[in-house]
A and B are shown apart, each in its own frame.
Chain A
Amino acid sequence: MMDQHLRRRIWSIVFIIGFFVVWEALCWLFNVSDIVLPKPSQIAVTLVQRMPALWPHTLQTLYTTLVGFAFGIVVGVLLGIMVGSSRLAYDVAYPLLVGFASIPKVAVVPIFVLWFGSGTVPAVLTAMIMSIFPIVVNVATGLATTEPELEDVMRALRASKFDILWNVGLPRTMPFFFASLKVSVTLAFVGTVISETVASNRGIGNVMMIASSNFDVPLVFAGLMILAFLGVALYAVFSFIESKITGWAHRKDEFAMG
């Protein structure tokens, strides 16, 4: 069991390293220009050399994303509870939500800039609206599909609506909620970077924009690497929390023991 786990780990690391090795090899083989596609080794050098300058922007992007994401979770969960707890709200609000979610978020950024000026605020808002939809849909679905028998157990005990929500609805929805968090956190990054690219003088998105207008392609790719790394890191954090909280849904032995 453990061996298999370890082997999977090793294979995934080998795969990642292999990806960069092939990339490097292809660049050498076809003599690809730096301006088209820089070699991974070159990107690494750029990352190290420019790190002092890139670091504050990295923090800015991370901070903006997390704040936007936190707001997204709060609003998303509240909306999800509203939509999920009543059939009427579900039918009424769903079309509007879907319509809202279908709007390309890049089109909304100028509106936020118009309202709040450029900088951190529109980036936070963009990150927020990007992350809301999956959370609402998942929380609402989790609540709406709660087994009636479970509710009957509670109703026979004369539990209030809040008791039922708190003791049955929300715990049951947790696996859905965490699944949506993993999707949403990566979307929040997308939102932040879109907004930074369009209307900010800070953040990785802005760095990449300026770098590309200077044809500093290795720096653009260094920015991409940072974003990818942050995305993976946050994904991993939420996966970890998920496994701790919703182990029951995956029937994990370690959860049962702990």
Chain B
Amino acid sequence: MRKIGTPYLLLIPGMGFLLIFFLLPIFNLAQTSTQTPKDGGDTGQYEQTFRLANYADAIFENREQFGRSFLYALITTILALAIAYPLAYAIAFKGGRFKNVMLVLVIAPFFVSFLLRTIAWKQILGEEGFVVPVLRSLQIISESTTLTSSPFAVVMGMTYNFLPFMTLPLYASIDRIDPRTLEASGDLYANGFTTFRKVTLPLSMPGVVAGTLLTFIPAAGDYVNAAILGSPQTKMLGNVIESRYFRIVDYPTAAALSFTLMAAILILVTIYVRKAGTEELV
């Protein structure tokens, strides 16, 4: 009896937490998403009419921001992977006794609120920061070009903010690769590139999958970078949900959009994980 009961007892806190802080809000969200304005009601008063067309309307009206959210998230993920892979590789194989210091440096930005860091980027890329004048004097950008309030700034901010989430899982799996497998590959006359393609990359796939997921999922729902570094033309779905919820006080559309975003991410991730075929993440 005791033996069977214990695991369930241990599950209670976790399940209770999920019930109160995940299932109930989700249920509430689902309920809100099909409501319509009350006749003659005041701002923010809605009643349940099970109007599923709310979803079609919400998606259609905001298709542009939907597309942009996934596009930006995709570019962010690719850039973060391109930057983080060599970095994680270097820390794992060439870090030596500085390995821990380097890892701390990767995590160091977390000691400062990410809001502050994003605002700092706004100043760095701003007109009176040092980047713009340097690029201008090198004639890389024209006098009238600005770096903030552009898709470039938004994607750059996201890449910067999510880089540690990509680096850490990559490091964890690259670090576990036995260097002798690389030596063996060399002994069998594989050159560096082939060794990477046939040995290192496949062995680090769990890290790649985990890192890309940890980057892509929050990036698709991000709204802080677009709000601080973007312009009206770079707004993402998170900004729309915020505006619908707080400014327009249109709870049903905000709920429908949140649900759709969640579903879209879930579907994309499922397809991706199946294709990547990784049983163990990390």
Partners in one complex: no
- Give the A-binding residues of B (Cβ under 8 A): none
